[in-house]
Structure 1
Amino acid sequence: MTARRPRQRAVRGESRVGLRAEVEVGPVAHGGHCVARLDGRAVFVRHALPGERVVVEVTEGADGDRFWRADAVEVLSASPDRVVPPCPYAGPDACGGCDFQHVTLARQRELKADVVSEQLRRLAGLDLRVEVEAVPGDDDGLHWRTRQRYVGLVGGGRGMRKHRSHDVVPVNECLLEAPPAIHEVRGRAFEVAPGGFWQVHPGAPQALVDAVMTGLDPQPGERVLDLYAGVGLFAAFLQAAVAPGRVVAVEGDATASRLSRRNCPGVVATAGDVAKVLVERHDEPFDLVVLDPPREGAKRRVVEQVVDRRPRAVAYVACDPAALARDVALFAESGYALVSLRAFDLFPMTHHVECVAILTSR
């Protein structure tokens, strides 16, 4: 096994990789780590919990860097929420797929809620209490990943990559892996291309559809714009609710857009970059908009096009709380306020969390 190779960064001063020090662990931060201080410098620590006293080993950082990254390699004072990781490959210098296997499931959800709240407060100026909801379909946080990728090893076998590294840890199995997804929601089947996007947690599509439909409360005759529509998961149920209204689904992936036509007969499906399509087409008013953008968020160009259509309500499905908070702030500039937010634990044992935000015009 080769030594761990962090991603290359410009070195500013003497490297401190390998340095060990004792620290008090501070609050959780976005990205699967907690913040500690070492001689005044921020250190992002994995495999720790707020309030713990640990020995950290620096994995990335030099004297001139604003912050360092580190692993907790020894726990001197443990949190009551610490548990033995169920997976033998979880921990420092091991598989990087999970962030929180050392944390009780209930505390994992509290940590994720803290991150969502902190991002909304810091980036959108909102003080909001968040609860991360459990979703049926996993086994106490395990066996939920219906689509899994391994690294093939020379001579056979398989492995998983270390955190922020190309190095590979041989594994016999991943405890998150689950049987392939059944592409069916509320008794309705969806066609998905091999390798095409579909939520990996078995309970995710149902939970997200329910949250969007409840939050928007679509009415017969309304006009709906579904952006980043995929194969039509939301469009299908919105179409049924607003009939005889109009549903337009815009998706960047041509194959997914084509499949949305099969999955949602009658929906107007347009393939193309969402921002560009909105500039050129579908400029009529819409009553409702659904946004389910990639991790980087919708950003200003799309937000401005959405508010230009003056919907009464927007449902924003977000897999990154920082991107969500930035876009919520953009909506606020145009008079749209966040009126409700639900967060779902669709990725147990990791730092990821999915949110459904509802915004309405003031």
Structure 2
Amino acid sequence: MSRPQARRPRTRTARGSSMVGRRFEVEVGPVAHGGHCVARVEDRVVFVRHTLPGERVVLEITEGTEGDRFWRGDAVEVLTPSPDRVPAPCSYAGPGRCGGCDLQHVALPAQRELKAEVVREQLRRLARLEVDVEVEAVPGDDAGLRWRTRQRYVDLPGGGRGMRKHRSHDTVAVDACLLEARSGPSYEVRGRVFEVAAVPDQQASFWQVHPGAPETLVGAVLEALDPQPGESALDLYAGVGLFSRFLSEAVGPTGRVAAVEGDRTASGLSERNCPGVLARAGDVGAVLTDGLPEEWARADLVVLDPPRAGAKRAVVEQVVARAPRSVAYVACDPSALARDVASFAEHGYRLASLRAFDLFPMTHHVECVALLTKTRSDLQ
């Protein structure tokens, strides 16, 4: 549940002359994962930001050489706009400006449909599943703005502040970010207060940044799993114990919950936040292999809330070895979710339901809660 670190652009070996700065007139194709749409210049794929499917635009290449398989670009002139195009609310959004937002030029309902299409496409391509999904609005933002309860700026010479450009360490000086919330995060959910540590840059760790996210995700996970008194539940990548606390209350004194988290500080806090929960700190795969008591060889329920890279096959296999009746997978990356859903399918677990939430308006990011189940006969 921690905020992922910004990725640095990969250094690519030049394959011919640079195409950066070249302009082409194109018709834009479908949305793709990552905050851009797909266009083609002759037989070359170009991932284009600041555009919408169906638009005709002039794109400018921002990354790529003659021999690359694909290029990246920005729509610098819109010739035929989509009906879903709107003026960006922020003056710092757009080609060559702040890289924090991908979709400020898109009406909010259309933003959510684009994200839903990305989730559908990733599951179709990577998990061979046709799934209908709707991205749900979440209370707590102001028409897609003012939801970032933690905000990071770059300190500029002379005392100013800035934001990074897309895939760059270059900065754009800004007065303020319209995504920044007017108040900090609340660590109270359903009447329960959580202790959350601060990291050195004053960002709180292991807590969702959208004010409506903790309540929304807890509700979605509990609804999906339907935990019963006396059941056992594993909370993997547990952070400070958000899901563990409510799972423990649901399974009651005759049930049991174990919380596994890689960060030792967060794991220690989960012990304080979740009385009676067994907390284990360490790599999730390693803890599942030999870091839990023998009674945890089986579990009725599992929550997975992995980082952006996903749980991956080794952890999936450790989960299915415990034969849970239900697995709730909380995913911040649809491609990682789809790959792990495919791995679960190899062991007989089907995608029973999927919900998606707009926890990051104006950006391409989307949060999903997937329910994976086996039939009772398969669990014998």
Identify the TM-score tier after normalising by the shorter chain: over 0.9
Does residue 1:198 correspond to 2:207, yes or no?
yes
Does residue 1:122 correspond to 2:125, yes or no?
yes
| Alpha-carbon distance, 1:6 to partner | 7.0
* Corresponding residue number in structure 1 for 2:281: 271
- Cα deviation, 1:238-261, whole Å, max 9, x if unaligned, reads 000001201000000000000001
User: What is the one-letter code of the residue matched to 1:360?
Assistant: T
Q: Contact 1:7–1:165 at 8 Å: present in 2 too?
A: no
Does residue 1:67 correspond to 2:58, yes or no?
no
Does residue 1:354 correspond to 2:364, yes or no?
no
Q: Aligned partners of 2:13, 2:108: CA distance in 1, in Å? A: 37
Secondary structure of 1:296's counterpart equals coil
2:173 to 170, 174, 199: 170
Q: Aligned partners of 1:248, 1:197: CA distance in 2, in Å? A: 17
2:134 to 126, 131, 148: 131
1:300 to 313, 328, 345: 313
2:329 to 316, 340, 351: 316
1:155 to 123, 140, 158: 158
* Corresponding residue number in structure 1 for 2:188: 184
User: What is the one-letter code of the residue matched to 2:364?
Assistant: H
Where does the alignment leave 5 or more consecutive residues of structure 1 unmatched?
none
- Cα deviation, 1:323-353, whole Å, max 9, x if unaligned, reads 0000000000000000000000000000000
- Cα deviation, 1:162-196, whole Å, max 9, x if unaligned, reads 00011000000000001210101111110000131
Which is further off, 282-291 or 133-142?
Answer: 282-291
Q: Aligned partners of 2:39, 2:316: CA distance in 1, in Å? A: 36
| Alpha-carbon distance, 1:281 to partner | 2.7
Secondary structure of 2:30's counterpart equals strand
User: What is the one-letter code of the residue matched to 1:39?
Assistant: E
Does residue 1:89 correspond to 2:99, yes or no?
no
Does residue 1:239 correspond to 2:248, yes or no?
yes
* Corresponding residue number in structure 2 for 1:146: 149
| Alpha-carbon distance, 1:39 to partner | 0.9
2:47 to 36, 44, 47: 44
User: What is the one-letter code of the residue matched to 2:205?
Assistant: G
Q: Contact 1:287–1:313 at 8 Å: present in 2 too?
A: yes
* Corresponding residue number in structure 2 for 1:250: 260
* Corresponding residue number in structure 2 for 1:109: 112
Does residue 1:281 correspond to 2:281, yes or no?
no
Secondary structure of 2:60's counterpart equals strand
* Corresponding residue number in structure 2 for 1:19: 22
Secondary structure of 2:229's counterpart equals coil
- Cα deviation, 1:106-148, whole Å, max 9, x if unaligned, reads 0000000000000000000000111000000000000000011
- Cα deviation, 1:256-311, whole Å, max 9, x if unaligned, reads 00000110010000000000000013342100000000000000110000000000
* Corresponding residue number in structure 1 for 2:342: 329
| Alpha-carbon distance, 1:7 to partner | 5.6
| Alpha-carbon distance, 1:20 to partner | 0.4
* Structure-2-length-normalised TM-score: 0.93
Aligned length: 358
Q: Aligned partners of 2:211, 2:9: CA distance in 1, in Å? A: 33
User: What is the one-letter code of the residue matched to 2:224?
Assistant: G
Q: Which runs of 4+ in 1 moved over 4 A?
A: none
Q: Aligned partners of 2:336, 2:170: CA distance in 1, in Å? A: 29
| Alpha-carbon distance, 1:9 to partner | 1.8
- Cα deviation, 1:49-88, whole Å, max 9, x if unaligned, reads 0000000000001110000000000000000000000000
- Residues 286 and 6 of structure 1, relative CA distance in 2, 3 Å threshold: closer
Q: Aligned partners of 1:197, 1:247: CA distance in 2, in Å? A: 19
Q: Aligned partners of 2:9, 2:136: CA distance in 1, in Å? A: 34
Q: Aligned partners of 2:9, 2:350: CA distance in 1, in Å? A: 41
| Alpha-carbon distance, 1:8 to partner | 3.4
State the identity %: 74
User: What is the one-letter code of the residue matched to 1:14?
Assistant: S
* Corresponding residue number in structure 1 for 2:3: none
Q: Aligned partners of 1:187, 1:93: CA distance in 2, in Å? A: 44
1:31 to 31, 34, 39: 34
User: What is the one-letter code of the residue matched to 2:71?
Assistant: W
Q: Contact 1:147–1:177 at 8 Å: present in 2 too?
A: yes
Q: Contact 1:229–1:251 at 8 Å: present in 2 too?
A: yes
